[in-house]
Amino acid sequence: MVDVSRHDVVIVGGGGAGLRAAIAASELNPEISIALVSKVYPMRSHTVSAEGGAAAIARDDDSLEMHGYDTVKGSDFLGDQDVIQYFVEQAPKELTRLEHWGCPWSRNEDGSVATRAFGGMSTKRTWYATDKVGFHMLHTLFQTSMKFGNVDRYDEHFVTKLLVDGGVCRGVAALDIRTGEMKAILGKAVILTTGGGGKVWPFTTNGNIKTGDGMSLAYREGVPLKDMEFVQYHPTGLPGTGILITEATRGEGGYLLNNEGERFLVTRDYGVGNKAELGPRDMISRAITQEIAAGRGVEIPGKPGRYAHLDLRHIGEEKIMARLPFVRELSKAYANVDPVHEPIPIRPVLHYMMGGVDTDIEARTSLDGLYAAGEVACVSLNGANRLGSNSLTECLVFGARAGEHATEYIKGASVGEEGPFVQQAEAEAARIDAFRGRQRGGEKIAKVREDMNTAMEDGTGVYREQASMAKAVKDIAELRQRFEQVSLDDSSKIFNTELIAGLELGNMLDVAEAVTWAAVQRKESRGAHACSDYPTRNDTEYLHHSLVYHSPEGPRFDKKEVTLGVWEPEERKY
């Protein structure tokens, strides 16, 4: 028998989006009971690692119109314009709320909140707290959430299935990692805020927990994943580890150099115009990739591959310590380089998934009772390329929206007959027990994961080819077969991290399938999807979102309209 608990709203994920949703729901109605389920303690969520900042207009020389236009252009016109308008309007309010809750935003001399320049943003509108913005936002949100008595946390609980019956979602099945027992956590609405899935790729800024679980959970219940082909490569990751060096380094004036010490973004035409280092990420990542391909990459003794140099020396120690102390700490600890005295070797690194669970502007998915927000969702704010610092704000704006809308929704909803949901959780418990009990000697989790990483790197890198994408589709299908043969060495119930890694691998394969499927379908180059066989954007055939549906026979592909109406698509040139 599984343990059954009952709540009104069940939130899966304790990162920026999940915590914001919990606070929003709690503030709107302090009477309801909220479950916050997270596979790690909330303050470990990967929002913690965001460095650079969160965007919202703050200065007199800025406007909603400008932030909106920058975002639409950054998205290569694939962002939904109603969503973008709503987002830019809400953004300053959300960051102000966070200020009231104690977020230690960096300040100007007069005591107002300071803002910095960021890629693709036409003025300084990125709020920051030195270079640990995600950390401060997450801890502020988590600590603030602790004051609400009606938020019940399920820390270190791994959600393995959405409980869906009769077309409505009414809870989740969660594995208590500590005890190894399955729980049915029932509610009248479920909000997915499980973050992205960067760990599908080998070289990524993402932490161990970013395995796309929520995308897989929704996908398996028939909810489409949208725009999955668009994954963002951040221009500046450290060699080996892929640890991020924030775009704020360039916002504060850093240069990108090739092995000849040349500022190639200024001297050569990579489409970023006079924005130079502050161009959008897709373009800069391509520029670095081309520099390296042209033989102008920097070599590091003892390390494979070629890099570019990120040079901060001219910024000076004082400003680096005031604005970018974490960058200095990371460079020293993980690349053995002190940016005050030496340039930092970097190369493009997988960073962010623009795609995700398809939602409307209210954060609703196509499944009744299921919401999604944050990186797991695709509300179509980011289109084909996200602008740096929009996504932390996105977590707040749409996390709050999801929390509020779900609180409204449950007024008219009931769990109804509990039986079927509990039975599903019991079946899920049996499935997990069987997985844990699989005989030794089969495929190893680490090996299958490694092969998946390789397939995805080859098929869906900064530049893509039809042939390599098609191969990746095939590879992933094969890996799914191999995953069926995976076995565990650890049969213990208590804190079995091998079991978790196995479940995560299954989820990542779902994500990988959707990404590769969506990628082969898009025969154009738009935003982060740079297809060598089709180097230009094709608005007549491809100005649409892509949807991938799960089905037992294999994925099904579909399209969805892009909402235009304010800004007309035009050539994307800076």
Ligand X SMILES: Cc1cc2nc3c(=O)[nH]c(=O)nc-3n(C[C@H](O)[C@H](O)[C@H](O)COP(=O)(O)OP(=O)(O)OC[C@H]3O[C@@H](n4cnc5c(N)ncnc54)[C@H](O)[C@@H]3O)c2cc1C
Residue tagged 């025969």 (tokens): 523
Shortest Å, Cβ 102 to another protein: 4
Work out the end-to-end distance of the chain between its first and last CA atoms, rounded to an integer number of angstroms. 60
**Segment lying near ligand X (by CB under 6 A), choices 36-44, 282-290, 316-324, 526-534:** 36-44
**Segment lying near ligand X (by CB under 6 A), choices 3-11, 207-215, 402-410, 524-532:** 207-215
- Contact between 239 and 232 (Cβ < 8 Å): no
**Contacts with ligand X in 392-421 (CB under 6 A)?**
392, 395
Q: Which does 374 bind (CB under 5 to 8 A by kind): ligand X, another protein, none?
A: ligand X
Buried b or exposed e, range 348-384, using 16+ CB within 10 angstroms = bbbbbbbbbbbbebbbbbbbebbbbbbbbbbbbbbbb
Nearer to ligand X, 362 or 539 (CB): 362
CB-based closest residue to ligand X: 15
Name the nearest CA neighbour of 376 among 225, 243, 205. Answer: 225
Contact pattern for ligand X over residues 121 through 160, marking x by CB under 6 A: ------------xx-----------------------xx-
Neighbours of 7 (CB within 10 A): 25
By CB under 6 A, residue 307 contacts ligand X:
no
In whole angstroms, give the CA distance from residue 355 to residue 540. Answer: 21
By CB under 6 A, residue 189 contacts ligand X:
no
- 250 is a catalytic site residue: yes
By CB under 6 A, residue 195 contacts ligand X:
yes
In whole angstroms, give the CA distance from residue 433 to residue 419. Answer: 21
By CB under 6 A, residue 429 contacts ligand X:
no
Shortest Å, Cβ 401 to another protein: 15
In whole angstroms, give the CA distance from residue 567 to residue 81. Answer: 8
State how far the alpha carbon of 68 is from the alpha carbons of 75, 252, 367, in Å.
Answer: 11, 23, 29
Nearer to ligand X, 320 or 500 (CB): 500
User: Which residue of the set 136, 234, 401, 449 is catalytic?
Assistant: 234
User: Which residue of the set 153, 250, 286, 405 is catalytic?
Assistant: 250
Nearer to ligand X, 207 or 569 (CB): 207
Cα-Cα-Cα-Cα dihedral sign, residues 445, 446, 449, 450: negative
By CB under 6 A, residue 191 contacts ligand X:
no
**Contacts with ligand X in 45-104 (CB under 6 A)?**
45-47, 49-54
What is the amino acid identity at position 124? K
Counting residues that bind ligand X (by CB under 6 A) gives: 46
By CB under 6 A, residue 390 contacts ligand X:
yes
By CB under 6 A, residue 218 contacts ligand X:
no
Nearer to another protein, 112 or 485 (CB): 112
Contact pattern for ligand X over residues 486 through 525, marking x by CB under 6 A: ----------------------------------------
Cα-Cα-Cα-Cα dihedral sign, residues 281, 282, 284, 288: positive
Burial of residue 302, with CB atoms counted within 10 A of its CB: 0-12 exposed, 13-18 middle, 19 or more buried: exposed
- Contact between 437 and 323 (Cβ < 8 Å): no
Which residues here bind another protein, judged by CB under 8 A?
40-41, 43-46, 48-49, 93, 96-97, 99-102, 104-113, 132, 135-136, 139, 143-144, 146-147, 155, 176, 178-179, 207-209, 240-241, 243-244, 302, 304, 326, 329-330, 333-334, 336, 444-446, 488-490, 492-498
In whole angstroms, give the CA distance from residue 180 to residue 433. Answer: 9
DSSP letters along 244-290, please? B--THHHHTT-EEE-TT---HHHHS--S-GGGGGGS-HHHHHHHHHH
- Contact between 546 and 557 (Cβ < 8 Å): yes
Distance of CA 497 to the CA centre of its chain: 23
Alpha-carbon radius of gyration of the chain: 23
Q: Which does 215 bind (CB under 5 to 8 A by kind): ligand X, another protein, none?
A: none
By CB under 6 A, residue 249 contacts ligand X:
no
Nearer to another protein, 280 or 403 (CB): 403
Q: What share of the chain is helix, strand, coil (3-state, %, to 5)?
A: 40, 20, 40
In whole angstroms, give the CA distance from residue 372 to residue 288. Answer: 34
Shortest Å, Cβ 39 to ligand X: 4
In whole angstroms, give the CA distance from residue 497 to residue 509. Answer: 18
By CB under 6 A, residue 455 contacts ligand X:
no
- 314 is a catalytic site residue: no
Q: Which does 536 bind (CB under 5 to 8 A by kind): another protein, ligand X, none?
A: none
Binding-site ranges for ligand X (CB under 6 A): 12-18, 37-40, 42, 45-47, 49-54, 133-134, 158-159, 193-195, 205-206, 209-210, 213-214, 244, 246, 352, 374-376, 388-392, 395
Catalytic site residues? 234, 250
